[in-house]
Amino acid sequence: MVSSTVEAFSISHAAILNPSTGVEEAVGGDIYGVRSGSLELDSDSYDNTGDDAILSTWYWANKVNVTVQGGYIPFETLALVSGSVITSSGSGDNETFSLPLWEENTMNTQPRPMLVRCPSKDKEGKIRVLDFILFKVQFQPFSFDGPSYKEGLLLNYNGSALFSDTDEKGQPVLDSRTGQPTKAVGRLVSRPL
């Protein structure tokens, strides 16, 4: 029997998804060499006060801050996230690749769906995969840490996962309780390996 209680460890994969099919983009979809990442909920609250006491508290979420860091610089992924175009010249071992670095018109690109995958297992020890599927990620311009001695050069993909009324395949998001249209940041999926 498989349990719906799972634990996850590390990140094994991150990818940019195609907004109409929900599958990993064929070229540049893989965020290669993921070293670390985080999903941090940006939330807030309001205390309703009266009679010198807090009578109730209202909570809400604004977005999820997404951070993924990798040790490789995949030109195809940077082109996909920034909307830039790679140029190349030469052939074989003499081929040269060029990508514009922080062009003015690539600072605010079209949001894309994204996948963050973690190896996991259920409470019974059965091997699983835990996928965070984010419907609409607005990427910031990519940035670098380093290069530094013994640490190398690291590439940062940062962005905001925003509330969306469509999922990673462009289908309407429906409330899990009522079946009515709603908005969500994404979906959490536990599946067999």
Q: What is the pLDDT of residues 89-123, one digit of tens each?
A: 999 999 999 999 999 988 888 999 999 999 999 99
- Cα–Cα distance, 64 to 44 (Å, whole number): 12
The whole-number average pLDDT for the span 135-149 is 93
Which of helix, strand or coil describes residue 183? coil
Residue 111 in tokens:
């949001």
Residue 49 within a domain: no
The tens digit of pLDDT for each residue in 120-138 reads 999 999 999 999 999 999 9
Residue 148 confidence class, pLDDT cut points 50, 70, 90:
confident
Strand partners, 192: 128
pTM to 2 decimals? 0.91
Residue 91 domain-assigned (yes or no): yes
Assigned token pair, 157: 């993909």
Instruction: List residues bridging with 61 in a β-sheet.
Output: 43
User: How many domains does the structure of the chain reveal?
Assistant: 1
- Place 150 in a pLDDT band, splitting at 50, 70 and 90: confident
Residue 1 lies in a domain: no
The domain containing residue 115 runs over which residues? 6-43+54-192
Q: Which pLDDT belongs to residue 69?
A: 95
Residue-level pLDDT at 151: 80
Whether the pLDDT of residue 146 is over 90: the answer is: no
Q: From start to end of 90-168, where are the E strands? A: 96-98, 112-122, 127-139, 143-148, 152-161
Reduced DSSP (H G I as helix, E B as strand, rest coil) percent helix, strand, coil of the chain, to 5:
5, 55, 40
Neighbours of 161 (CB within 10 A): 26
